[in-house]
Structures are given as structure tokens and as C-alpha cells.
Amino acid sequence: MTVLDRTNAMMEAAVFHGHERITIERIRIPDVGAGEVLVRVSRTALCGSDFKLWHKGAEFTAGHEIFGVVEQPGHRMHGRRCAVYIPIHCGHCAACLRGDTQMCLEVSSLIGWNRPGGYAEYLPVPENCLLPVPDDIEDSLAPLLLDTIGTSAHAVRFVSRVVPPQEAGPVLVTGAGPVGLGVILALKDAGYSDIHVSDPNAWRLRIAEAFGAMSHPVGDTGKRFALIMECSGAHAARNLGIEVVLPRGALVLVGENAMPWTIEEGKVFRRKDFYMIRTFYFPLGDFEPNIALLRCYKDEYRVLVDGEFGLRDLPQNFARFAEGKLIKPVLALERS
């Protein structure tokens, strides 16, 4: 394949300067390397993990929940609608051959973090990171196939081998953000029926209840659970999970937190067998089941996409998102 020469071509992109400052600037379209294609971005969903870039600044264009159209004339995927799988992976190491493409042993690079991402008009994408999206999935829902559905559903699938639905009893989800709400739907789909959720935000709790979960007081230690899905990333919620997880139960760390976390080895930690599990993103093989999950709960996922705006309006809407006024807003570079 001949790599197209776009050496002098320009595009608009968001620049994260740090100190909660984002500007929209014209920059050069990144080079498209061997084994890569250019993707014209249609939608990029905002994600709370980008707050650290908002605060500290970003070396590369941010944005990692990306959906767009391949713009590589002559390539077999030209014109295809695709979601972008963010972990760069070699495809031949032991992890990749096992199907754990999100944990490649040879490459440790993520699109939107260690290389240009989707808060821009274009980005180069390795061919093996293109995930074709069926035509019945609307543009604004397509980015949800990645973090909101992919990360959430992978966590549920992974722990279901340890605490299967028929043995779980009540399940607690801590945090009703996009991932926590995605976990609730994935739990329902997997057969978990007694789902409780805690979150200090009453608005998000109401959505969780509409999805079939029951409200549980934040910080309550009066009830214990065989399965706890910790989706907030808050250290207090993690510590609570250690306290209230039942013997032989599982605490699953789905939410992220870059700050150091200290675990006190008190008796509540020492005196029981339990699983503490960390899950990350999802393997490529999960993509088809993720599409099926989106099709099954389209109306629920539509509720989460509560804002859609162009690139010029990203700075103020990112600030609103950071304030908790939006759940899963979507940057829309092309209107349907």
C-alpha cells in the first residue's frame, strides 16, 4: 500500500495545555505510517480519565473513545465506519495470541495517550485497531462500544468466572458514572438480578434505578456482598469494598485513580479469603458481544449521551463535564 503524502495538510485539534485550559488550534495532520490508515473523526466521547490531561496538559492530542471513517483511497477499508481500538498491539506475543490484545507484552502504547487521539479532525490508526461498526449503530452511540460498554462488559465477563450469577446474591456497584451505569447493564445482561448501586449524585442514581438497580447508601457498612464492582476509582470506595466484600467474594477495581493508594492490613483485610481483581479495557474478541449488548439496550445507552457539540465548543463543554453536569457528552465533528 502506498502511504498518502499529507506532509503539509492541516487540521483543527484540541490542545490540552494543563491548568484546565483547552484551545482549538490548526496543526499538521499526523504522519500515516506503514501499516496504518488515516481516519476522519466523526465522534469522540469525552471520558473522565482525560481529567488528568486537563489538569496537567498533554503531549499528544487527547481523546480515546473514537469513531470515524477510514479515509485511505485504495485501501480495502476506505470509507468504512470504524471504532478505534486504543491499545496498540503486536498480534504475535503470548498475550495477543491468547486473545488479551489489550495487554500486549511487546507494545505499551495507547491512542489518545502516547500518540495522537480523537479530539481532532483526523488521526492515524494501525490497521489492526480498526473495528468496523455495523450500519444499524448510530454515529453518536458508536463510541460507547469502547469504554462505556467494552470496559464495563469485560469486567463483568472476567469476574463471572469467579462469582457466577447463580452464586452472587446481591451485587454492589460503587459509582454511577458512565462505566458504572455500563456495568449495571452488563450485569443485567449476564444474569445478575439483585443489583445495588451507590453514588452521591442523586441524578445519576435515578438513572441507575431506571436501569434496574436499587439505591444503596454511600459508605454504608451494614450490608455485605459477594461481588462488588468498584467503578468510581475513589480510594474510599475501594477501602469500603475491602471491608464489605464477603469471604470468597470478589472486589473488582474497574475505576481508575492515578494517586497512590495505601491499603491497611487490618483484621478486615487479613482475616478472610477474597479476590481483589483489576480489569483493563477489553480484548478484541469482545467487540461482537459488545455490539450485541448495545443493540439490546440501545434506549438505555441513548440516555447516557446527553450532549453533542462541535470542536469549537469542546473547551466549555469539557468544563461542564468535569463539573458533573454531563454524563457522556460526545464531540461531533460530522453531523449525521
pLDDT tens profile 218-256: 999 999 999 999 999 999 999 999 999 999 999 999 999
Could you give the residue range(s) of every CATH 3.90.180.10 domain in the chain? Answer: 10-140+305-332
- pLDDT digits over 158-194, tens only? 999 999 999 999 999 999 999 999 999 999 999 999 9
What was the pLDDT predicted at 6? 57
This prediction's pTM:
0.93
- β-bridge partners, 110: 87
What was the pLDDT predicted at 53? 96
What was the pLDDT predicted at 264? 87
Confidence of residue 336 (pLDDT cuts 50, 70, 90): very low
CB neighbour list of residue 135: distance below 8 Å, 6 or more residues apart: 81
What was the pLDDT predicted at 258? 85
Relative orientation angle of helices 178-190 and 287-296, to the nearest 10 degrees: 90
Mean pLDDT score of the chain, rounded to an integer?
A: 95
**Taking the domain 149-278, which CATH number applies?**
3.40.50.720
Distance CA 165, CA 227 (A): 10
Distance CA 49, CA 330 (A): 15
What was the pLDDT predicted at 335? 58
Distance CA 268, CA 199 (A): 23
- pLDDT digits over 190-203, tens only? 999 999 999 999 99
What was the pLDDT predicted at 2? 37
- Determine contact, residues 328/304, Cβ cutoff 8 Å: yes
- Determine contact, residues 253/235, Cβ cutoff 8 Å: no
Concatenated DSSP letters of 146-180 = TIIIIIHHHHHHHHTTTS-HHHH-SEEEE--SHHH
- pLDDT digits over 94-135, tens only? 999 999 999 999 999 999 999 999 999 999 999 999 999 999
How many of the other CB atoms lie within 10 Å of CB of 300? Answer: 18
- pLDDT digits over 270-320, tens only? 999 999 999 999 999 999 999 999 999 999 999 999 999 999 999 999 999
What was the pLDDT predicted at 4? 43
What was the pLDDT predicted at 7? 58
**Taking the domain 10-140+305-332, which CATH number applies?**
3.90.180.10
**249 grid coordinates:** 467474594
Relative orientation angle of helices 152-159 and 178-190, to the nearest 10 degrees: 40
Could you give the residue range(s) of every CATH 3.40.50.720 domain in the chain? Answer: 149-278
- CB-count exposure of residue 118 (10 Å: 0-12, 13-18, 19+): buried
- Determine contact, residues 174/198, Cβ cutoff 8 Å: yes
Angle (CA) 297 298 299, round 5°: 95
